[in-house]
Amino acid sequence: MCGIAGLIAPTLSPEQREVAVTRMIDCQSHRGPDDRGIFSHASATLGMCRLAIIDPAHGRQPMQSADGRFALIFNGAIYNYRELQAELRAEGHAFRTNCDTEVLLAAYAQHGTACLKRLRGMFAFAVWDTREQTLFAARDPLGIKPLYYARVPGTGLVFASELNALLASGLVAREIDPVSVGEYLAWFSVPAPRTIYRGIVNLPPGHCLTAQADGRVKTEPWWRLPAPAPASGTAQNYTDFTRGLRAQLEDTIRAHQVADVPVGAFLSGGLDSTAIVGLMTKTGASRLKTFSLIFGEADFSEQQSARLAAQTFGTDHHEDVLTGERVARDLPHILASYDQPTGDGINTFYVSRAAKAGGVKVALSGLGGDELFGGYPSFRDLPRLAGLLPWWRRLPARPRRFLVERLQNLNSSRARKLADFLSHARDLHELASLQRRVLPEAARLSLLSPEARQMTARLGPNHPMLDDFVHDLMGADAFQIISAWEMRTYMADVLLRDSDVFSMAHSLELRVPFVDARLLEWLWPQRTGFKRDPRMPKRALADAVADLVPAAIRQRAKRGFTLPFAHWMKRELRPFLDETFSAASLDRCPWFDALPVQEMWRRYLAGDDPRAWSRVWTVAVLIAFANRPARA
């Protein structure tokens, strides 16, 4: 795991480029405190800072191929590097290290861009071809590792693992994009390829980039979801399916434990994290270190379930008590670590800190289980609503408008979300595209300044990737459609992005075994009736690990992991929020209309909707983010 950065700029001298790249590496040094390096050739300069996980004593970057043609910088982990190394040796490659970086470099030298289909892991990497004077960069299929880039005025390209690093280069303006503000208010984050800053691009998951020395840039997808039609070799009965799923789960767990440093796990006490820990112990991990967050508010704490799991598997279990007072005290540090504003992720910040303090350098997380195995209410609710939409659309316009207005005026977040569905969705895809909306459309537009409102309204209420996804998922069934939307929106743009930022803020490599392309490609064509039981969400996962996970955890109703923010915002966090929603703070947010934003905060203080906190917190984070002092 590393932080990578690079600059292609024919108009700048090598010394000027190296100053800019050094600034970027310094800014993201928390991503790789163990080593650093810089490489320059012709119009390109590459840099990295390394968190040494595999073959820590070697694997220095940037790394050059034996013939000097290719120079590589790489952030991530290639879990099948030993298999690839054996294949490449048979093809004549010699290796000086036992590091996945050198294997990736050799794979690119041997196969070119076709090497991407051979890689199993999480990655964002860039290769400079000294002969052709071109840069090639790519992200992993599902978007675990990030890569951001921007055009350098004149000709050229600058890229890095973090937005803060790009700003530190001195080549990119720190200008918040009003259109991105509108999208952030809708989705908890800014969907790729847009970012919160004007002119900075988030390379989407499963995409690659080619940049010429003259500044021309081309991006394209290199990985797509599997074809939805059943493939040969799919399970013919449920017993064979759960047996095959168990083999796939053990396979991904073995792969994700590949490391030459201590590996631990996050353990919330839910089915996903408990299954991960159980499979880790089953596949050979001994006296595993596990880490949980607990709260004084009993309704939010899963302490007993986590302790049961830890006792069952004999782990060295660590609990970190999180309070509103502690979050309030740490907010300046948390906000400083933000790459972009987000309405989520503080739990990952703290459990990553606990894992690092507990002596591990790598931790596994259960992230992705809900998306793969149908754990979210969307898998139940959206197909039902989609079935009613044709009947709803046949009603005359006046009663439809009347009902929508009644729903919008109720003091209920659920009612307002239903109003958005009924107003804007025509089919399952459009329902899925709206599913992760934070603020209803009318509320979102009301918070924006007239100019920002006009720009945002032109884009419409649906997710920006709606048209592309409709074509990509042609022929998919309802389960696949919802799973794909959950993976590409909430998982990729919120959960994975936040997990990367907040784990790397503590120099911890976070791995997500459920977010594995090989596992997904096996699971995708299997019968939906095997993958999902309407009476029991995630039954397939529970049955596949029934011999490992205690029945009390397998049979427990799903609980979403939520911090007690609804309580803290009216107590310990209130001074921060009062200041954040003040006139002076909002003066520095020209894309907001201050009066409705302040009214939103007042209504929250006076109301009792338990779901409203996330909307208010999302807005507050954006304001606080915009008010952060510029880094030197």
Q: Convert the pLDDT of each residue in 325-378 to its tens digit.
A: 999 999 999 999 999 999 888 999 999 999 999 999 999 999 999 999 999 999
CATH 3.40.50.620 domain extents, the chain: 238-374+492-554
Q: Which two tokens stand for residue 48?
A: 């990295």
Distance between CA atoms of residues 202 and 310, nearest Å? 38
**Tens of pLDDT, residues 439-453:** 889 899 999 999 999
Q: Which two tokens stand for residue 17?
A: 């480029």
DSSP 147: -
**Tens of pLDDT, residues 504-549:** 999 999 999 999 999 999 999 999 999 999 888 899 999 999 999 9
Stretches where the chain sits below pLDDT 50 are 632
Average pLDDT of every residue of the chain: 93
Ramachandran region, residue 296 (left: φ > 0; alpha: ψ -120 to 50; beta: rest) = alpha
Q: List C-alpha distances in Å: 339 to 34, 148, 197, 334, 552.
A: 22, 11, 11, 10, 39
Q: What is the pLDDT of residue 299?
A: 60
Question: Helix or strand or coil: residue 158?
Answer: strand
**Tens of pLDDT, residues 117-144:** 999 999 999 999 999 999 999 999 999 9
Q: What is the pLDDT of residue 632?
A: 44
For 595-616, give the DSSP string: HHHHHHHHHHHH---TTTHHHH
CATH 3.60.20.10 domain extents, the chain: 2-221
CATH code of 2-221, in short, is 3.60.20.10
Q: List C-alpha distances in Å: 294 to 156, 306, 455, 498.
A: 48, 9, 43, 20
The CATH architecture to which 238-374+492-554 belongs is: 3-Layer(aba) Sandwich (3.40)
Q: What is the pLDDT of residue 134?
A: 97
Question: Helix or strand or coil: residue 375?
Answer: coil
